[in-house]
Amino acid sequence: MKTSISRRRFVGGAAAMGAAATFPLARAGMARADVPGKRVAVFGAGMSGLVVAHELAELGFSVDVYEANTVFGGKARSWGIPGTGSGGRKDLPAEHGFRFFPGFYQHVTNSMIRTPAPGRPANRGVLHALRDLEDLASDEDGWGLTFSESHYQTVQQLIRLRDYKRLPDPNKLASPADVVKAMQTIFGGLAKPTTLNRGMELAWFAARVGAFLTACDERRKGPWDELSWWKFMRADGRSTWFQNNLVKGTTMGLVAVKPEVCSVSSGGNIMDAFAWNLMGVDAGPLTAYALRFLDGPTSEVWINPWVAHLQSLGVRFHTGQRLSKINMGGGRVTSASVTDTTGQTREVDADWYVSAIPIDKARPLLLQQDVLAADPSLELIRDLKIDWMNGMQIYMKRPVRASAALVGFFDHQWTISAVLQKQLWRRDIPGEFGDGTVGDIISIDISTWDRPGSITTKKAAKDCTKEEIFREVWAALKQRAGKHDPAFRDDNVHSWLLDPAIQFGPDGKVTGNDEPLTVQTVGTWKKRPKGPTAIPNLFLSGDWIRVTANVVSMEAANQGGRQTARAVVAAAGGNPDDIFFKTEIKAPAPIVKLREEDKRRFDKGMPNVLDAAVRGPQFKLPKLF
Residue 32: per-residue pLDDT: 53
Instruction: Report, as ranges of residue numbers, the positions in the chain whose pLDDT lies below 50.
Output: 1, 7-31, 616-625
Judged on CB neighbours under 10 Å (0-12, 13-18, 19+), 118 is exposed
Question: Could you read off the pLDDT of 421-478 as tens digits, one per residue?
Answer: 998 998 999 999 999 999 999 999 999 999 999 999 999 999 999 999 999 999 999 9
Residue 17: per-residue pLDDT: 36
What is the C-alpha separation between 438 and 91, in angstroms, rounded? 11
3-state helix, strand, coil in the chain (%, to 5): 40, 20, 40
Spatial CA neighbour of 250 closest among 420, 107, 447: 447
Contacts of 484 (CB under 8 A, 6+ apart): 146, 154, 156, 401, 404
Residue 546: per-residue pLDDT: 94
CB 353 within 8 A of CB 371: no
Amino acid at 485: D
Q: How far is CA 621 from the centre of its chain?
A: 36
Concatenating the DSSP letter of every residue in 527-565 gives GS--SB-SSTTEEE-STTS--TT-SSSHHHHHHHHHHHH
Question: Could you read off the pLDDT of 138-153 as tens digits, one per residue?
Answer: 765 557 778 887 777 7
Residue 559: Cβ within 10 Å count: 28
What is the C-alpha separation between 183 and 368, in angstroms, rounded? 47
Task: Write a three-state SS string for 285-347.
Answer: CCCCCCEEEECCCHHHHHHHHHHHHHHHCCCEEEECCEEEEEEEECCEEEEEEEECCCCCEEE
What is the C-alpha separation between 117 and 309, in angstroms, rounded? 8
Residue 400: per-residue pLDDT: 86
Contacts of 585 (CB under 8 A, 6+ apart): 104, 269, 272, 273, 276, 548
What is the C-alpha separation between 193 and 199, in angstroms, rounded? 6
Spatial CA neighbour of 402 closest among 428, 417, 422, 430: 422
Residue 509: Cβ within 10 Å count: 14
What is the C-alpha separation between 410 and 149, in angstroms, rounded? 7
CB 65 within 8 A of CB 316: yes
**Could you say which DSSP state residue 91 is in?**
P
Determine how β-strand 352-355 pairs with β-strand 39-43.
Answer: parallel
Contacts of 501 (CB under 8 A, 6+ apart): 96, 390, 513, 514, 515
Q: Where are the domains of the chain?
A: 20-76+295-384+522-578, 168-278+588-613
Task: Specify the CATH architecture of the domain 20-76+295-384+522-578.
Answer: 3-Layer(bba) Sandwich (3.50)
